[in-house]
Amino acid sequence: MSLMTPPRFRLTAREAGHLALASDQGDVVHLFVLEDDINNLRLREGSA
């Protein structure tokens, strides 16, 4: 992953409090909404 060729993400899962996105380069992002003002963002490179 680089700024020269930024990945494009698409939504792959949507559940209460959790979004998962996958990129065209194989990266996966998980966004967890823990509270109204607390989020947890995890990026796994090349894990698709």
Q: What is the pLDDT of residues 1-48, one digit of tens each?
A: 678 888 899 999 999 999 999 998 899 999 999 999 999 999 988 754
Task: Break the chain down into helix, strand, coil percent, rounded to 5.
Answer: 0, 60, 40
Q: What is the pTM of this model?
A: 0.77
Residue 22 structure tokens: 């996958």
| Residue 23 confidence (pLDDT) | 93
The reported pLDDT for the residue numbered 47 is 56
pLDDT at 33: 96
